[in-house]
Amino acid sequence: MQNMPKSHNQYQASDRLHTVHVGQRKLLVKGMAVLGLQDLYFLSMTSNWTLFYSCIGGLFFFINAFFAAVYMLIPNAIANQSPPGFWGAFFFSVETLSTVGYGDMRPESLLAHLVATVEVFSGLMGMALMTGLTFARFARPRARIMASATPVICQHNDQRVLMLRAVNARKSMIVQASARLYALVDQRTSEGQSMRKLLDLKLMRDVHPMFFLSWTLIHVIDESSPLWGHDASSLAELAATLILTIDGSDEMTAQDMRSRHLYTHQDIRWNHVYEDMLQIDAEGREHVDYERLDQIRPQ
């Protein structure tokens, strides 16, 4: 019979309040299912490198300490044990678990050989698992796409527009990059129910064939735009949040790149424009200054 996925109530629910950050918005969530050790792969992939290797080191010590205790329970389990006592058994366990086998110490009795066999099998499986997790962490694509900290609303070619600016922080090119912009707002239904609604903000150009340096994303605020007729105070009442997503393929590694950037209504600067990142020196050479990414000025 095919195993069915667990429903929400089959997981252990927590009565504690969990803090969840959506951009700069902080939410307190109650009753969230606590997966914990049921999702070790997710925990392994999302933890930082220091915590990841600290947990591996702690697990390695615990396993060897456990097997050392088992060896000590077996009379005359280890021949030529040095040093005597726990640490000798511990170092013998390290040699066995890692399949090093220096040859000085060895299992002496049949029961000790059986324990060593179990430990070697555990070491081989554990080594394969840790190698796979480490490779997966290294191989996971990480987008180096930076976006301006403040969207701006200004006049552009006699049109009211919302602008955001993104740059590729790597020296490789992102081909067929695509961008999507959304507005998440609070709305009330005709029945008076409050809910969050996702609105699509159409970009003038949502595909970039060769995203190498910078990309200015423009949404025209006309009659067809969900932002038409809104100002800073009305967006504040809607608790508006902008969501920018950029996807593409790295030309050097052929890996899919994805980045997400969130902005609250407080981040938007009205009647401001971005400073030009492209500069030309006295010799006619073009310079792109990434330090100007967040620089704006009144229009």
Q: Name the CATH code of domain 47-139 (choices 3.20.20.140, 3.30.70.100, 1.10.287.70, 3.80.30.20).
A: 1.10.287.70
Per-domain residue ranges of the chain:
10-37, 47-139, 145-298
Q: 75 vs 101, which has greater pLDDT?
A: 75
Q: 86 vs 136, which has greater pLDDT?
A: 86
State pLDDT tens for residues 10-37. 444 555 666 666 555 666 666 556 555 5
Read off the pTM.
Answer: 0.66
State pLDDT tens for residues 191-230. 778 888 899 999 999 999 888 888 999 999 999 999 999 9
CATH T-level fold of 145-298: Immunoglobulin-like (2.60.40)
Answer yes or no: is pLDDT of 4 > 60. no
What value does the mean pLDDT of the chain take? 83
225, 203 Cβ separation under 8 angstroms:
no
Quickly state the pLDDT bin for 109 (edges 50, 70, 90).
confident
